[in-house]
Amino acid sequence: MKVLSHFITSFGTGGSGMHSKRDVRNEQDEHESSANFVRSLRSMRLVTMVLLSLLSYTAYAQTITQYQQEAAENNPQLKAKYQQYLSALEESPIIGTLPDPEVSFSYFIKPIETRVGPQQGRISISQMLPWFGSLKDQRTASELRAKAAFESFQESRNRLFLQVEQTFWELYEMQESIRIAEENQAILNSLVELSLARYETDRATQVDVLRAQIEEEDLNIQIDLLKDNREVLLQKMNELLNRNRNMMITFPDTLPDSNINPRHVLLTQIRQQNPQLNRLRYREASSQETKILAKKQNRPSIKLGVDYIFTGETDMPNVTNSGEDALMVMAGFRVPIFAKKNNARVQQADQNIQDLQFQISARENSLETELDASLRDFKDANRRFNLYNEKQIQRITQAINILMDAYASDSSEFEEILRMQRKQLNYQLKRIQSRTAQHKAAAYIDYLTGKNNFNLNN
């Protein structure tokens, strides 16, 4: 803090113009002053970086999982998908039960005379029974369609989770990019002050001052663009969460390492857990049940019934069972004489099964390709991060330090200092970009493997 205060105080009381007059010092004093300035500037790099790091985070940060759960609870499109699943669940009780029984009542306007008396009315109750196992097949097919609807909901849920996580990492990248740019902005401002101080003592040219000011203004524009991009991403995140756009997103204090399983393990998980594949498989199984049911439609249905006949007292004397009501049982069959339509249903089911099998095969191939592409992106991001983090940034920092030492005694290296400073900023931005790219690739792999699947059995 003493170093930072020293710079604020020194530059705050310095000359306001490029041609302000100062007392001329001897060359040895000026050389020592420049060297101290350079050493202080190095210290300022570290202090500025630490301060901006502390200011850029809150004490508590929601985890990605919490944001995903919030999105799942609030997102209207996902709620619509879930309602479609609940609607599909209600189909099984509708089609998997017996048809309603038929009840009819007949009244004889002119009674039919019989030995035991006149028949006055009749009540009939009948029930149609489909071929054995048909109801079970209908329920099974309906349940499979409901499971397919659930997998469709689960696919939407996993895609929403992916969008939330990738947007979160994009926001994190933007936040860190602003922090890094502002850190470099403070350093560039110090370089502007240094060039001014040296110019006023005729140890640098006006061109050095102008170059530093140009770099500073360019960086200011870049920071403004980064902040605008952050606002757009915040709006996108709040839209996914379906909440007020003024609510802020908090970030973790540290970025965790991202690890993934070997390719063969991931491929097995995709084939077993991917909701898109499971949805197609449930649809195929439902078509299989529909085919079985269509074949049973070519078999007769059975109709059972009971007739109860109301009989009046006979006028004839000494008749046994006079006025006794009659009870009659009935059995019938629905004979599928015109079987062409049912045969067409069987053929249609066969074609649906083949279509779904082709879709499953094609989707497996495309998912494998997407997995390989994501693994490539993950490995590439990891390589780039290690390059920038372990080599390039350290090398360019060392080069800047050497140039700053040279600049303490010679102004000829100032343009190279600015160029290297610009390159350092570029590498720092690429480092955070590669880090977040690694996490976004891992998030997409989690999406492909169905890592966030919801277990129906729980």
Span 23-70, pLDDT tens digits: 434 444 544 555 554 455 444 444 333 333 333 333 334 688 899 999
The percentage of the chain sitting over the pLDDT mark of 70, rounded to a whole number, equals 83
Does residue 359 sit in the same domain as residue 316?
no
Q: Which of 207-221, 273-287, 317-331 has the highest mean pLDDT?
A: 273-287
Q: How far is CA 260 from CA 163, 255, 277, 381, 386, in A?
A: 19, 16, 21, 13, 17
pLDDT at 9 over 90: no
The answer to whether position 458 is within a domain reads no
> Among 335, 360, 394, which residue terminates a domain?
335
pTM: 0.76
- Long-range contacts from 105-113, C-beta under 8 angstroms, 24+ separation: 111/312
Residues 278, 359, single domain; the answer is yes
Q: Which two tokens stand for residue 103?
A: 């009840």
How confident is the prediction for the chain on average, in pLDDT? 82
- Does residue 135 have a pLDDT over 50? yes
Q: What is the separation of C-alpha 79 from the centre of its chain, rounded to a whole number of angstroms?
A: 15
Question: Which residues have CB under 8 Å from 272's CB, separation 6+?
Answer: none
Q: With 50 as the cut, is the pLDDT of residue 349 above it? A: yes
Q: Write down how long the chain is.
A: 458
**Is residue 122 located within the same domain as residue 153?**
no
- pLDDT band for position 456 (50/70/90)? low
What's the pLDDT tens digit per position in 292-310?
888 888 888 888 999 998 8
Domains contained in the chain, number? 2
Could you tell me if 401 and 42 are in contact, meaning their C-beta atoms sit under 8 angstroms apart?
A: yes
| Residue 110 pLDDT | 83
Question: Is 455 inside a domain boundary?
Answer: no
Are residues 370 and 425 both part of a single domain? yes
d(CA 67, CA 452): 13
Token couple for 254: 């540290």
Please check the confidence at residue 457 and state whether its pLDDT lies above 70.
no
* Residue range 11-25, pLDDT digits in tens: 333 333 333 333 434
Residue 19, in any domain of the structure: no
Higher pLDDT, 380 or 38: 380
Co-location of 75 and 143 in the same domain:
yes
E-state strands within 257-325 = 301-311
Query: Are both 290 and 313 inside the same structural domain?
Result: no
Listed range (218-222, 312-316, 380-384) with the worst mean pLDDT: 312-316
> What token pair was written down for 276?
């898109």
Contact in structure between 429 and 180 (CB atoms under 8 Å): yes
Greater pLDDT, 399 or 312: 399
Asked whether the beta carbons of 446 and 452 are under 8 A apart, the reply is yes
For the range 262-269, what are the long-range contacts, defined as Cβ-Cβ under 8 Å and sequence gap of 24 or more?
A: 263/371, 263/372, 263/375, 266/371, 266/375, 266/445, 266/448, 266/449, 267/368, 267/371, 269/449, 269/450, 269/451
pLDDT at residue 367 tops 60: yes
Helix 64-74, helix 76-89: angle, nearest 10: 60
Find the domain containing 310 and state its range: 100-129+300-335
pLDDT band at 373 (very low <50, low <70, confident <90, very high): very high
Same domain, 247 and 330: no
Task: Supply the DSSP string of 367-391, one letter for each residue.
Answer: HHHHHHHHHHHHHHHHHHHHHIIII
Q: Residue 283 — pLDDT band, cuts 50, 70, 90?
A: very high
Same-domain check for residues 35 and 52: yes
Average pLDDT of span 314-331: 78
Q: Kindly tell me if the per-residue pLDDT of 190 is higher than 70.
A: yes
pLDDT at 44: 43
CATH number, domain of 326, equals 2.20.200
> Residues 236-259: what's their mean pLDDT?
81
Residue 235 has a CB neighbour count (10 Å cut-off) of 11
pLDDT for the residue numbered 59: 30
Judgement on whether residues 316 and 305 belong to the same structural domain of the protein: yes
